[in-house]
Amino acid sequence: MDAHSMRNLTLTLCLTVAVLLGSAKASYIDDYTKGLNAAQSGDFSTALREWTTLAEQGDSSAQFNLGVMYEHGRGVPKDDKTAEKWYRLAAKQGVADAQFNLGVMYGKGRGVPKDDKTAEKWYRLAAKQGDAKAQINLGIMYIDGRGVIKDVVYAHMWVNIGASNGAAYAGGIRDFIEKRMTSAQIAEAQKLARECVRKKYKGC
């Protein structure tokens, strides 16, 4: 069972335009928006040109979008290694979607050696930012004991949190886990989920 396989691998563009601070040039918004509009109209060559310049200057949204383009071969040859490079740069700046995508790449060994511990690291970082997809995948890792010690309580906790954050497919996964749990374990998992959310994922 893999939550990633349940979602459509459609082109996802980061729509958030960062607020300009300090001496940052106002032309950033124009360049980013030009790339976004081009991508949405199918003009990926223009998007590539605009976003590459911004990404090389350290813009995390542009870095993430380039990762998406290379992962799915939109306007460029499909290249998982290059996708991983751009995702990693964005992920290090805290982009949850990039962290999730890195988790998937390490979990499947796409563009990088398969490494469940590294997949778990990136999923957890995204999960602690409230990313429902990462929360579900982290829970699944606890079901299977991949990258973490097998633990149905923590599996249920993370999947339950993912469900509360809007993951439509989480209910079925949670039911699957509950069939392997005692009532006491389910109660403990629910308690941990409430505490985790209340503490805003600190210590989870």
pLDDT above 50 for 19: no
Average pLDDT score over residue span 190-200: 96
Lowest-confidence range among 114-118, 151-155, 165-169? 165-169
Task: Specify whether 113 is located in the same domain as 48.
Answer: no
Reported confidence tier of residue 67, pLDDT bands at 50, 70, 90: very high
At residue 136, the pLDDT reads 97
**Which residue type sits at 135?**
Q
Q: Which residue has the higher pLDDT, 190 or 2?
A: 190
Structure letter (DSSP) for residue 3: G
pLDDT above 90 for 23: no
Nearest to residue 1, comparing CAs of 187, 191, 175? 175
Task: Specify whether 111 is located in the same domain as 202.
Answer: yes
Share of the chain above pLDDT 70, in %: 86
Task: Specify whether 65 is located in the same domain as 119.
Answer: no
- Rounded distance between C-alpha atoms, residue 31 and residue 33, angstroms: 6
Integer CA distances (angstroms), 80 to 57, 106, 184, 201, in order: 22, 11, 43, 30
Q: What is the mean pLDDT of the chain?
A: 88
List all residues 6 or more positions away from 96 whose beta carbon is below 8 Å from its beta carbon.
125, 126, 129, 130, 131, 134
| Residue 191 CB coordination number (10 Å) | 12
Nearest to residue 56, comparing CAs of 77, 36, 85, 79? 85
138 domain-assigned: yes
Chain centre distance of CA 153: 23
Task: Specify whether 190 is located in the same domain as 121.
Answer: yes
At residue 12, the pLDDT reads 52
Task: Specify whether 117 is located in the same domain as 84.
Answer: no
Reported confidence tier of residue 27, pLDDT bands at 50, 70, 90: low
Average pLDDT score over residue span 141-148: 96
Q: Read out DSSP for 130-145? A: T-HHHHHHHHHHHHHT
Chain centre distance of CA 10: 14
At residue 24, the pLDDT reads 46
Burial of 164 (C-beta count, 10 Å sphere; 0-12/13-18/19+): middle
At residue 16, the pLDDT reads 39
Task: Specify whether 138 is located in the same domain as 49.
Answer: no
Please give the tally of structural domains in the chain. Answer: 2
Task: Specify whether 170 is located in the same domain as 204.
Answer: yes
Average pLDDT score over residue span 20-43: 72
Average pLDDT score over residue span 57-72: 95
Q: List the CATH number of the domain containing 174.
A: 1.25.40.10
Give the count of alpha carbons within 13 A of 200, CB side only.
Answer: 1
Dmax over Cα atoms in the chain, in whole Å? Answer: 58
Integer CA distances (angstroms), 11 to 68, 112, 131, in order: 7, 21, 18
